[in-house]
Structure 1
Amino acid sequence: MTPLSTRLLANMRRGRVYTSANLTRIHRVEADAVAHALAELVGKGVLRECLNSRKLPGYCLAGSNPAPAQSQAVSGEVATPAVTRRLDGVLRGYETELATRRALAMLARR
Structure 2
Amino acid sequence: MSDPSAGHPAASPWARPAGPEAQAEWVDPTPTDPILRIPPTPPQPKSTAAAVLLNLTGSGAGYFYLNRRGQAWTAAVLAVVLVAVAGGGPAGGPVDDRAPAPPVRAYTA
Superposition TM-score tier, normalisation by shorter sequence: under 0.3
Larger strand percent: 1
More helix per residue: 1 or 2? 1
TM-score when scaled to structure 1? 0.21
TM-score normalised by L of structure 2: 0.21
Say which one has the larger Rg: 2
Greater relative CO (CA pairs within 8 A, separation 6+): 1
